[in-house]
């Protein structure tokens, strides 16, 4: 089971749209679980919930605070389930802050989740215990950067320092997911090109991966969200330029290559009854004294 967290400490950069559309294209070929870890539940309602399949699905609060086996809700997209955000007052964040393992609840909870090939977690555009949980639970953290000066500054000031602040967890065996940036909502202006150039330099100096795939600023992403459909189905082809479908396929393919290097043994588990890429058999039982992180375990 490969875990991807969409994160950025800046609000409005495209985390939820990216998380939903990437989940949907992955669900064409695999079982995918989305977790909405933002108190503003945008991912929860991004695609319709399949009411017919619903019993009493697990929400975020139960996922993180109870030991019950999670029962996600089904969306109307085949192979795509969701754990809804159900903490509108934001009390969960406070509860986590006061728990001894408050930064590791998501990591532990995902050890209980079976039957998915991918888990994608959406986060809020700020720092906090929930975002830290999502980063520590992930194999890879995907951070969209629009080429705008405020977004670029906040990536360097906020997102990078969030990851630096979590480094001490590595010595306990819990490595933050590998930070991977992508240019998002780009346009062809000179200003955008200048900012992209500067950010590329900063990222390469700091050894942070930047995807080749670029997601442009296009109205089809907003239209698809309005209709609650995946953008790769909303725009399958385009007369001129790269279609949204092609952009998402490029993103999927590039990420798949990277995930193969982060979790190289995942292929061994192909066709397992737990899910095509399930690695959870390698992780320690919930509540273990000093759990080995699957990522360090595989190195």
Catalog residues that contact ligand ATP under the rule CB under 6 A.
11-17, 38, 42, 124-125, 185, 215, 217-218, 221-222, 225
Q: Cβ closer to ligand ATP: 112 or 217? A: 217
Nearest residue to Mg ion by CB is 16
Shortest distance in whole angstroms from residue 29 CB to ligand ATP = 23
Q: Between residue 17 and residue 56, which ones bind Mg ion under the rule CB under 5 A?
A: 42
Shortest distance in whole angstroms from residue 125 CB to ligand ATP = 3
Shortest distance in whole angstroms from residue 168 CB to ligand ATP = 26
Q: Cβ closer to ligand ATP: 108 or 185? A: 185
Q: Cβ closer to ligand ATP: 41 or 70? A: 41
Q: Cβ closer to ligand ATP: 38 or 93? A: 38
Question: What is the rounded distance in angstroms from the CA atom of residue 217 to the CA atom of residue 146?
Answer: 9
Shortest distance in whole angstroms from residue 118 CB to ligand ATP = 19
Question: What is the rounded distance in angstroms from the CA atom of residue 86 to the CA atom of residue 39?
Answer: 7
Q: Cβ closer to ligand ATP: 9 or 266? A: 9
Question: What is the rounded distance in angstroms from the CA atom of residue 111 to the CA atom of residue 209?
Answer: 27
In the structure encoding, which two tokens stand for residue 168, read together? 């001490």
Question: What is the rounded distance in angstroms from the CA atom of residue 57 to the CA atom of residue 120?
Answer: 17
One of 16, 21, 143, 159 touching Mg ion (CB under 5 A): 16
In the structure encoding, which two tokens stand for residue 46, read together? 């991004």
- Establish if 170 lies at the interface with Mg ion (CB under 5 A): no
CA nearest to 138, candidates 128, 130, 127: 130
Shortest distance in whole angstroms from residue 122 CB to ligand ATP = 7
Instruction: With both helix axes pointing from N to C terminus, report the angle between 219-227 and 244-262 in degrees, rounded to the nearest 10.
Output: 90
Q: Cβ closer to ligand ATP: 22 or 210? A: 22
**221: which residues sit within 8 A by CB, 6+ positions away?**
17, 21, 215, 231, 244
Nearest residue to ligand ATP by CB is 125
Torsions phi, psi of 176, nearest 5? -60, 150
Q: Cβ closer to ligand ATP: 225 or 262? A: 225
CA 80 remoteness from chain centre = 14
Pick the piece of the chain touching Mg ion (CB under 5 A) from 12-20, 113-121, 259-267, 282-290.
12-20
Shortest distance in whole angstroms from residue 145 CB to ligand ATP = 11
Q: Do the Cβ atoms of 87 and 60 come closer than 8 Å?
A: yes
Neighbours of 57 (CB within 10 A): 18
Shortest distance in whole angstroms from residue 93 CB to ligand ATP = 15
Q: Cβ closer to ligand ATP: 184 or 269? A: 184
List C-alpha distances in Å: 8 to 38, 231, 265. Answer: 12, 22, 29
Residue 217 binds which one of Mg ion, ligand ATP, none, with CB within 5 to 8 A depending on kind?
A: ligand ATP
- What residue ranges bind Mg ion (CB under 5 A)? 15-16, 42
């Amino acid at each position: 089971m490969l875990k991807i967290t969409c994160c950025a400490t800046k609000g409005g950069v495209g985390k939820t749209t990216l998380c939903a559309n990437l989940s949907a294209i992955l669900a064409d070929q695999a079982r995918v679980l989305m977790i909405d870890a933002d108190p503003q539940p945008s991912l929860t309602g991004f695609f319709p919930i399949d009411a017919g399949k619903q019993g009493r699905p697990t929400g975020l609060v139960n996922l993180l605070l109870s030991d019950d086996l999670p029962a996600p809700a089904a969306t109307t997209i085949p192979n795509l389930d969701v754990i809804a955000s159900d903490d509108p007052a934001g009390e969960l964040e406070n509860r986590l802050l006061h728990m001894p393992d408050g930064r590791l609840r998501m990591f532990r909870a995902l050890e209980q989740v079976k039957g998915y090939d991918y888990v994608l977690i959406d986060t809020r555009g700020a720092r906090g215990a929930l975002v830290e949980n999502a980063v520590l639970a992930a194999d890879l953290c995907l951070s969209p950067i629009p080429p705008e000066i405020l977004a670029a500054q906040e990536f360097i000031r906020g997102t990078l320092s969030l990851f630096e602040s979590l480094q001490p967890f590595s010595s306990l065996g819990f490595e933050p997911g590998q930070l991977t940036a992508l240019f998002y909502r780009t346009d062809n202006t000179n200003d955008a090109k200048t900012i992209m150039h500067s950010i590329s330099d900063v990222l390469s100096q700091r050894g942070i991966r930047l995807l080749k795939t670029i997601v442009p600023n296009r109205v089809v992403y907003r239209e698809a969200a309005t209709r609650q459909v995946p953008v790769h189905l909303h725009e399958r082809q385009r007369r001129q330029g790269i279609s949204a479908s092609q952009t998402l396929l490029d993103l999927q393919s590039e990420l798949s290559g990277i995930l193969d290097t982060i979790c190289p043994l995942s292929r061994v588990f192909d066709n397992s009854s737990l899910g095509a890429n399930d690695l959870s058999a390698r992780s320690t039982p919930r509540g273990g004294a000093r759990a080995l992180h699957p990522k360090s375990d595989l190195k």
